[in-house]
């Protein structure tokens, strides 16, 4: 169970994202002023890695999905995915990574899509987030998911995984669009949908992740 510490971060996550977002291929803004707009967390069974799926809105009103992991030390071979480092008021120095390239986040995302774990509230300890849904539920098998690779394009990030002899591509929708089926996908595809706040204070809901395809 992840424990949420209500403390300081220097620099803050949003300050780090202000510098990092313009370096991403899928970022379409011109004046990054990210504001936290929602999201959820996943638990690392080992209790070592913090896992957060954060939604942020930008100066132009666009919404982006930024999955992040928080680690007590560098992740080997992931320098290209480092968002930045910060000083946590309780835990000390933390390394923050783009979670699409972190094997722990990818494994827990696979477990969520397969119906074997539950999304947790973004800012509360031991509180399920029942607004995060997966449909159809239970798609997937037992066992861990191995991260094969992740690649950005102008629309999002394709995360390739291998689990129990099956290969899957998990499509992260970096630009969030309101609507239950906001991005085309096969009718039978598993979707993870969640909420975020629009700049006017209303709540939007749309696809965060979709399973694009698989082969044995």
Per-residue confidence (pLDDT) for residue 139, from 0 to 100: 54
Asked if 142 and 116 count as a contact pair (C-beta separation under 8 A), the reply is yes
Position 187 confidence tier, pLDDT thresholds 50, 70, 90: low
Say how far apart CA 105 and CA 172 lie, in whole Å: 13
Asked if 158 and 205 count as a contact pair (C-beta separation under 8 A), the reply is no
Q: Where are the domains of the chain?
A: 9-215
Say how far apart CA 64 and CA 22 lie, in whole Å: 12
Say how far apart CA 179 and CA 8 lie, in whole Å: 35
Least confident of 4-8, 17-21, 26-30, 99-103: 4-8
Over the stretch 15-74, which tens digit does the pLDDT of each residue have? Answer: 999 999 999 999 999 889 999 999 999 999 999 999 999 999 999 999 999 999 999 999
**From its phi and psi, is residue 26 left (phi > 0), alpha (psi between -120 and 50) or beta?**
alpha
Per-residue confidence (pLDDT) for residue 210, from 0 to 100: 93
Per-residue confidence (pLDDT) for residue 169, from 0 to 100: 94
CB-based burial, 42-77: b 16+ in 10 Å, e otherwise:
bbbeeeebbbbbbbbbbeeeebbbbbbbbbeeebee
- Give mean pLDDT, residues 144-166: 93
Position 216 confidence tier, pLDDT thresholds 50, 70, 90: very low
Per-residue confidence (pLDDT) for residue 40, from 0 to 100: 98
- The answer on pLDDT for 179 being more than 50 is yes
Say how far apart CA 187 and CA 29 lie, in whole Å: 31
């Amino acid at each position: 169970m992840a424990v949420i510490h209500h403390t300081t971060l220097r620099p803050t996550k949003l300050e780090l994202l202000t510098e990092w977002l313009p370096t991403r291929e899928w970022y379409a803004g011109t004046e990054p002023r990210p504001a936290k707009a929602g999201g959820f967390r996943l638990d690392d069974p080992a209790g070592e890695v913090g896992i957060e799926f954060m939604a942020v809105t930008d100066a132009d009103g666009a919404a982006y999905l930024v999955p992040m992991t928080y680690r007590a030390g560098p992740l080997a071979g992931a320098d290209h995915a480092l968002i930045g480092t910060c000083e946590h008021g309780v835990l000390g120095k933390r390394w923050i990574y783009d979670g699409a390239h972190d094997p722990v986040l990818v494994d827990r995302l696979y477990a969520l899509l397969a119906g074997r774990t539950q999304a947790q509230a973004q800012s509360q300890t031991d509180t399920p987030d029942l607004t995060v849904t997966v449909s159809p539920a239970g798609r997937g098998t037992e066992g861990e998911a191995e991260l094969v690779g992740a690649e950005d394009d102008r629309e999002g990030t394709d995360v390739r995984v291998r689990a129990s002899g099956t290969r899957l591509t998990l499509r992260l929708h970096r630009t969030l669009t309101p609507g239950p089926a906001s991005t085309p996908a096969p009718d039978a595809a598993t979707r993870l949908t969640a909420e975020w706040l629009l700049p006017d204070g209303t709540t939007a809901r749309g696809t965060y992740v979709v399973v694009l395809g698989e082969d044995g």
